[in-house]
């Protein structure tokens, strides 16, 4: 039998002499290792979540949105309040900024859609044919709106999956008509989209986009048939507003141009919206930065917890090993008399601390791997009992699904073994440098 | 250093040996120039009043400590113990010296067989042959049925026999026994002395520290220390052979 195997056997044996003590010793290491795995898993989850959201919005996009100004700012205006982006501004942006590859004007109105007895609340989106490509919409049946539809102000519409399913549960919607009761308009369905996951709101500046209740029509048709002025019922009274465009989605040729272009857009539009703040420029790429910061903060925070537990764990190990060394002074003397070199004594005690920290690491890894499960449970629990608390969390945190980073497991092991070595070395060396004669005399 | 016995090989050669302890400004001269040779196959009883330096001498012979370097020297074979470093001393302890202590000094967590194996482990030799040898040694001391027992399950005499088996496992130059029978009753003492005698008959060198004349009477030779110096060194008269 190899000698090192004997050493290990011996180490494990003497640890098992005090199982409770050994387990308590291991607690700090266990918490440390578990938190290392957790922090990396959650960090990775945040990363992936952010990436997904950015992808949904498009990293090379700049989104300019109209924002309804606060009512205090518009008290002087009687009647419907005009605000937001205009078609003229759209034209200016397209004409004057060369880095813009394409620009997507969007007008959206909350409306009701009717088919026979079935009525659904949804979003009427007026846009251009580019919309489907830029927002990566996939066609399920039929087609998206075309240039020709735009040109002739056609009353054609494309339905998002959920609307189609609701209004046409038994028949193929293509070629059929739906009604907008609020405007006494009829639209003929020319296409149906595949379901699309919503992009969550990030940073509070962009509302969550729930694409599945949308109905798309040519923006020209919307302007002509419905117009810029919309009346919405709000808490009993009617409020009017005049909006030409709710959003312009700009994409640039190269991701590198995003930030610079966004700045130019901001400068171009700012003088035209001095009266009150009614536009907002959102750069998904900046949201990526935000997500990075969130993730970094999280990793620093959890890293601190991990470091403290590992330190405490290490000190615990050192403490217990010092006690063990004192307790076993006589044995050390005997072994030295029988020919043990200092290195033998060092390795004997070091093996024990390493064995301890490996056990801690093992338990830590098991608990660490349970992270995604535990997080899901916690989230479900929070959603159920404290929805308000959930609401207050940033979206990236709210939606995060921890993803175990495979490297974190060997990393955790290496860290805990290192802890074992670092904190076990002093007691072991102390044992090895005892005077054998004194040690033999020890009671 | 009258070395007329050059034809007989020496287990140890003690030449003007000094050992001084320095304790908080106080110096204790535990050994003050002791000289004698221990030929192979000898059986020496070291006697003397308490504090005369018996244990000190034995610890030096056992390479647990180093003598004063400025005077005299201690040779084991050709090795000058004063010039060895800690690792070399450990190697010598592992391979050439057998210890038997007054308080047995077995390792409590280990079984009888494992205790006997410990020195082999530090010599780096623990093969099949050596394992077999450990069993044979256990048989020699009459404990072949107790191999997997723990020291706490054995009587004092049995524990001391395990210690003797352990001291033999590395085929040592000599066995050092410091008051090996000090904790035992007269019957058990006789058993252990019988074992020593048998080992000596087989050619093993034994150096025994004792207070008791009865015990010393079993050795071939009696060395007396007084105040760290050699007081007398004579062959045993009327040696008891068991
Ligand atoms: N480590 C030490 N430090 C200081 N002095 C020591 C040390 N070891 C022994 N001595 C001193 O050296 C002298 C000899 O001690 P030693 O233990 O060799 O005596 P001994 O003959 O074995 O006595 P006993 O019969 O009581 O065992 C004593 O005066 C003792 O106090
Ligand atoms: Mg003594």
User: What is the mean pLDDT of the segment spanning A144-163?
Assistant: 92
Is A331's Cβ below 8 Å from some Cβ in B?
yes
pLDDT of residue A59 exceeding 60: yes
- Does B66 lie at the interface with A, CB-CB under 8 angstroms? no
Percent helix, percent strand, percent coil in chain B, to nearest 5: 35, 25, 35
Q: Which residues of B touch A343 (CB under 8 A)?
A: 87
The pLDDT score that the predictor gives to residue B23 is 87
Verify whether ligand 1 is closer than 6 Å to residue B23 (CB atom).
Answer: yes
Q: How far, in Å, is the centroid of ligand 2 from the Cα of A377?
A: 69
Question: For the segment B11-63, what is each residue's pLDDT rounded down to a tens digit?
Answer: 999 999 999 999 888 999 999 999 999 999 999 999 999 999 999 999 999 99
Query: By C-alpha distance, which of B228, B211, B242 is closest to B47?
Result: B211
Q: With a 6 A CB cut-off, is B30 part of the ligand 1 pocket?
A: yes
**pLDDT over 80 at A361, yes or no:** yes
Least confident stretch, A122-136, A187-201, A226-240, B133-147: A226-240
What mean pLDDT value characterizes chain B?
92
User: Cβ separation of A341 and B101 shorter than 8 Å?
Assistant: no
- Which tens digit of pLDDT belongs to each residue from A326-358? 999 999 999 999 999 999 999 999 998 998 889
pLDDT of residue A307: 86
Across the interface, of A17, A331, A437, the residue whose CB is closest to B59 is A437
Closest CA to A370 of A359, A378, A380, A360: A378
pLDDT digits (tens, 9 = 90+) for B85-136: 999 999 999 999 999 999 999 999 899 999 999 999 898 887 889 999 999 9
User: What confidence tier does A204 reach under pLDDT thresholds 50, 70, 90?
Assistant: very low
Residues of chain A with pLDDT > 90, as a percent, come to 33
- The answer to whether B90 contacts A340, with C-beta atoms less than 8 Å apart, is yes
B21 touches chain A (CB under 8 A): no
Average pLDDT over residues A7-28: 83
Give the DSSP letter string of A413-438.
HHHHHHHHHHHHHHHHHHHHTS-HHH
CB count in 10 Å sphere of residue B210: 24
Predicted confidence at residue A209, as pLDDT, reads 65
Rounded Cα gap, residues A198 and A142, in angstroms = 22
User: Best-predicted range by mean pLDDT among A29-38, A240-249, A337-346, B178-187?
Assistant: A337-346
Cβ neighbours of residue B149 closer than 8 Å, sequence gap 6 or more: B111, B112
Q: What integer is the mean pLDDT of A304-327?
A: 89
Q: B59–A331: do the CB atoms touch at under 8 Å?
A: no
- Ramachandran class of A13: left when φ > 0, alpha when ψ lies in -120 to 50, beta otherwise: alpha
| Residue range B10-235, CATH number | 3.40.50.300
Mutate which of B17, B21, B210 to test ligand 1's pocket (most atoms within 8 Å of Cβ)? B21
Is the ipTM reported for this complex over the cut 0.85? yes
Which residue stretches of A69-156 are H helix? 87-96, 130-134, 147-151
Q: Whose CA is nearest to atom 10 of ligand 1?
A: B30
Task: With CB atoms and an 8 Å threshold, state whether A335 touches B59.
Answer: no
The reported pTM is: 0.72
Phi, psi of B172 (to 5 degrees): -80, 165
List CB contacts (< 8 A) between A340 and chain B.
90, 94, 122
Nearest to B134 by CA among B106, B104, B156, B162: B162
Rounded Cα distance between A431 and A258, Å, is: 64
The pLDDT value recorded for residue A305 is 84
Q: What is the mean pLDDT of the segment spanning A110-136?
A: 88
pLDDT digits over A97-120, tens only? 999 998 999 998 888 899 988 999
User: What 3-state DSSP class applies to B1?
Assistant: coil
């Amino acid at each position: 039998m190899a000698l090192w195997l004997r050493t290990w056997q011996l180490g494990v044996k003497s640890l098992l002499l005090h199982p409770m003590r050994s387990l308590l010793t291991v607690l700090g290491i266990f918490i440390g290792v578990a938190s290392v795995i957790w922090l990396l898993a959650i960090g990775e989850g945040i990363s992936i979540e952010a990436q997904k959201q950015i992808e949904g919005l498009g990293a090379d996009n700049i989104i300019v949105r109209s924002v309804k100004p606060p009512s205090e700012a518009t008290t002087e205006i009687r009647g419907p309040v005009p605000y937001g982006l205009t078609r003229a501004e759209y034209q200016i942006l397209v004409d004057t900024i060369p880095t813009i590859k394409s620009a997507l004007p969007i007008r959206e109105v909350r409306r009701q859609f009717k088919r026979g007895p079935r009525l659904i609340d949804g979003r009427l989106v007026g846009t251009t044919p580019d919309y489907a490509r830029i927002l990566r919409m996939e066609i399920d049946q039929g087609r998206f709106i075309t240039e020709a539809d735009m040109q002739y102000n056609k009353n054609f519409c494309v339905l998002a999956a959920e609307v189609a399913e609701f209004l046409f549960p038994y028949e193929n919607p293509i070629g059929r008509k739906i009604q907008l009761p609020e405007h006494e308009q009829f639209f003929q369905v020319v296409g149906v989209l595949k379901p699309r996951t919503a992009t969550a709101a990030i940073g509070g500046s962009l509302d969550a986009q729930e694409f599945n209740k949308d109905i798309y029509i040519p923006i020209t048709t919307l302007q002509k048939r419905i117009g810029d002025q919309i009346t919405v019922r709000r808490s009993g009274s009617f409020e009017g507003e005049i909006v030409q465009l709710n959003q312009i989605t700009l994409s640039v040729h190269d991701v590198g141009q995003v930030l610079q272009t966004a700045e130019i857009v901001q400068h171009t539009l700012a003088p035209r919206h001095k009266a009150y703040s009614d536009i907002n420029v959102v750069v998904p790429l900046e949201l990526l930065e935000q997500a990075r910061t969130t993730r970094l903060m999280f990793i620093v925070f959890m890293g601190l917890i991990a470091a403290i537990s590992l330190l405490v764990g290490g000190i615990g190990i050192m403490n217990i090993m010092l006690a063990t060394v004192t307790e076993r002074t006589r044995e050390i003397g005997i072994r030295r008399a029988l020919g043990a070199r200092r290195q033998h004594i060092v390795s004997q005690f070091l093996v024990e601390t390493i064995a301890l920290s490996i056990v801690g690491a093992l338990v830590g890894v098991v608990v660490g791997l349970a992270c995604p499960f535990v997080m899901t449970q916690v989230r479900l629990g929070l959603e159920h009992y404290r929805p308000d608390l959930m609401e207050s969390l940033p979206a990236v945190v709210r939606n995060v699904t921890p993803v175990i980073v495979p490297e974190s497991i060997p990393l955790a092991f290496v860290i805990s073994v290192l802890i074992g070595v670092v904190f076990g070395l002093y007691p072991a060396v102390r044992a090895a440098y005892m005077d054998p004669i004194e040690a033999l005399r020890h009671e | 250093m009258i070395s007329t016995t050059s034809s007989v090989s020496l287990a140890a050669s003690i030449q003007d040996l000094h050992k001084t302890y320095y304790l908080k400004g106080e110096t204790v001269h535990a050994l003050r120039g002791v000289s004698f040779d221990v030929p192979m196959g000898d059986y020496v009883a070291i006697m003397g009043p308490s504090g005369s330096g018996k244990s000190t001498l034995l610890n030096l012979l056992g390479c647990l400590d180093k003598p004063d370097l400025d005077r005299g020297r201690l040779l084991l074979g050709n090795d000058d113990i004063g010039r060895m470093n800690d690792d070399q001393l450990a190697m010598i302890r592992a391979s050439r010296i057998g210890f038997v202590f007054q308080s047995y000094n077995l390792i409590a967590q280990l079984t009888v067989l494992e205790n006997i194996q410990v020195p082999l482990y530090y010599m780096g030799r623990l093969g099949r042959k050596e394992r077999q040898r450990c069993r044979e040694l256990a048989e020699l001391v009459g404990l072949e049925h107790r191999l997997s027992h723990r020291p706490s399950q054995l009587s004092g005499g049995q524990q001391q026999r395990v210690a003797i088996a352990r001291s033999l496992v590395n085929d040592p130059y000599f066995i050092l026994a410091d008051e090996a029978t000090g904790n035992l009753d007269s019957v058990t003492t006789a058993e252990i002395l019988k074992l020593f005698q048998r080992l000596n008959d087989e050619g093993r060198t034994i150096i025994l520290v004792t207070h008791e004349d009865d015990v010393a009477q079993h050795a071939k030779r009696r060395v007396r220390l007084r105040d760290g110096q050699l007081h007398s060194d004579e062959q045993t008269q009327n040696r008891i052979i068991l």
